[in-house]
Amino acid sequence: MIISLLLSAASVVAAPSNSAISVSNTVPKDAASGVLAPFVSFSIEFSSFPDFAGNNSKPNKFSNQLLDNLAELQGVKPFIRVGGNTQDFALYDPNLKSQINGTVVPSVSSDYPYIITIGPSYFEAYNTWPGVKFSHGFNLGKNTSEATNTLVSTVPLACKALSNGNFAHWELGNEPDLFSGQVRPKNWTASDYVNEWLSKTHIIQRQLSKACPDMLTHGEYKYIAPSFAGTANHLDPVKTWEAGLDSGNDVGMNSMHNYMGGADSPGVTLAHTLMNHTAVIHSVANHVAVMNQLEENNLAKGVPYILGEMNSLYHQGKPGLSNSFGAALWGVDFNLYCASQNIRRTHMHQGTDYRYASWQPIETNKTSMGTKAPYYGNAMVAAMLHGKQKGQDANIQVINLPMNQETEAAYAAYIDGKLARIAVINMQEYNYTGTDSASALRPSATYQFHLSGMPNKSLSVQRLLANGTDAITGITWDGWSYSYELKGGSPVRLSNVTIGQTAQTDSKGLVGVELPFSSAAILNL
């Protein structure tokens, strides 16, 4: 790793990339609502959850450490949504001794099992991460008597496992807007979906009244829904709300999913698909349009809009893109832009051997156990959205600061209405692999901000760094490594990375920060 060398080389070729951006010291009146705490959260594939969490006798301490790291940064441990495609494949076997038994069907996917049974011990995974709240996903995809029996049998197991202060929400079905023509008739409508959803949530409610009646009181009986794959598939999210999705007043989070594109889609690249602020704006715009329609029709009032599942490229990501430092920079841009657009929380999807995963929880014949590049992007977002002020919850609002180039982005975070941090991201590609020398000059850009009413103020600088866009190891946040190999995921401060830098506003409140290509930083007031 030669990050400190790259920083010194960058200073040789620095040049301003844009004129100073004015940043108000109080939150603009049209700013988005405050983010939910925690904002940085995860979705874990149902079939992968035992790998990520373990069980009573063998909890996955590595995963828990990584979640603790993020809690230290953002003030709250991430919420975990347990679901995905495989929640709609899973059937229950009361005699199964293992947590899960899965069979991969390559014609469906080589990344996760298609034939799945879970046993009683599956639910031990909910005991292994202290301080985490979970959403549990029930099977809606299979429409058989066996699936109904699974629902009836697993509600008591799930509710008892989630009765220890660790419950967030229930979920019924994953991406039902894709069911039509696959596991439901082609003419399956939003009304058909809502009627089935209401019928089966009533089953869940009846089972809870028998097994965990306390979970039906004090407003705890809540779902994330409709959990659609997108905003333009067979089922329209707005029509779904019009059809009475929340007629029981039990939808706690308006949950949608998002990916930037497909791993195998033509033309998918880092530069045009991920490290591209224009592409991020376009992707999030679909959700903004849905939120506007819901508001215009007085629907989903007071229900926060979240991304219950999202990541870079669907089909579990693409090697060289989704597992690179470039994807970490995309994660910072995408998540902060979501926060600036009233998307109140994001759950980045994870799975065993998935290319876009933030970490690999176990050793397999495909993937080494360890912390992956996207995790460092999670860390920077968590630091930007730290929500505790003197031990108390704080209202954090994020605004997008428009930049000149689609390869750059900047954001301001306000705590209780006052400017607290500025994040800057340079997404200009710089591929370290193949360069002639470790000391090769790395271009950089200088970004200037005008902080009104803040002359001669010192700001601390924290950096997200790697040797280049294509790096998959050797990544740091503020000089910290979270490598499994160093200390099992616990933070380790590296001695060869420059930390403790400051930036000073001048007498007019102007401040500049220099970023090597393919890096990011936070300025802390």
Closest Cα partner for 341 from 409, 437, 270, 430? 409
- What pLDDT, on a 0 to 100 scale, did the predictor assign at position 228? 98
CB 236 within 8 A of CB 289: no
- Domain residue limits, the chain: 40-391, 399-524
Q: What is the pLDDT along the chain (525 residues), one digit of tens a residue?
A: 333 323 333 333 333 445 899 999 999 999 999 999 999 999 999 999 999 999 999 999 999 999 999 999 999 999 999 999 999 999 999 999 999 999 999 999 999 999 999 999 999 999 999 999 999 999 999 999 999 999 999 999 999 999 999 999 999 999 999 999 999 999 999 999 999 999 999 999 999 999 999 999 878 999 999 999 988 789 999 999 999 999 999 999 999 999 999 999 999 999 999 999 999 999 999 999 999 999 999 999 999 999 999 999 999 999 999 999 999 999 999 999 999 999 999 999 999 999 999 999 999 999 999 999 999 999 999 999 997 665 567 899 999 999 999 999 999 999 999 999 999 999 999 998 755 445 568 999 999 999 989 999 999 999 999 999 999 999 999 999 999 999 999 999 999 999 999 999 999 999 999 999 999 999 999
Spatial separation of the C-alpha atoms in residues 325 and 372, rounded to whole Å: 9
3-state secondary structure of 38: coil
- What pLDDT, on a 0 to 100 scale, did the predictor assign at position 423? 98
Report pLDDT digits (tens) over 327-352: 999 999 999 999 999 999 999 999 99
For helices 190-211 and 145-161, give the axis angle rounded to 10 degrees. 50
Distances (CA, A) of 451 to 273, 339, 369, 422: 32, 22, 44, 10
Task: Tell me which fold the domain 40-391 belongs to.
Answer: TIM Barrel (3.20.20)
CB 421 within 8 A of CB 398: no
> What tokens were used for 13?
């070729």
Contacts of 259 (CB under 8 A, 6+ apart): 310, 311, 312, 313, 314
Distances (CA, A) of 506 to 410, 412, 511: 20, 19, 7
Q: Does the pTM of the predicted model rise above 0.75? A: yes
- What pLDDT, on a 0 to 100 scale, did the predictor assign at position 396? 97
- What pLDDT, on a 0 to 100 scale, did the predictor assign at position 439? 53
CATH class of the domain defined by 399-524: mainly beta
Cα within 13 Å of Cα(350), Cβ side: 29
3-state secondary structure of 90: strand
Which region holds residue 391: left if phi is over 0, alpha if psi is between -120 and 50, else beta? Answer: left
> What tokens were used for 109?
């996917």
Q: Strand pairing partners for 522? A: 423, 462
Report pLDDT digits (tens) over 361-410: 999 999 999 999 999 999 999 999 997 665 567 899 999 999 999 999 99
User: Dihedral, CA atoms, 232, 235, 237, 240, nearest 10 degrees?
Assistant: 160
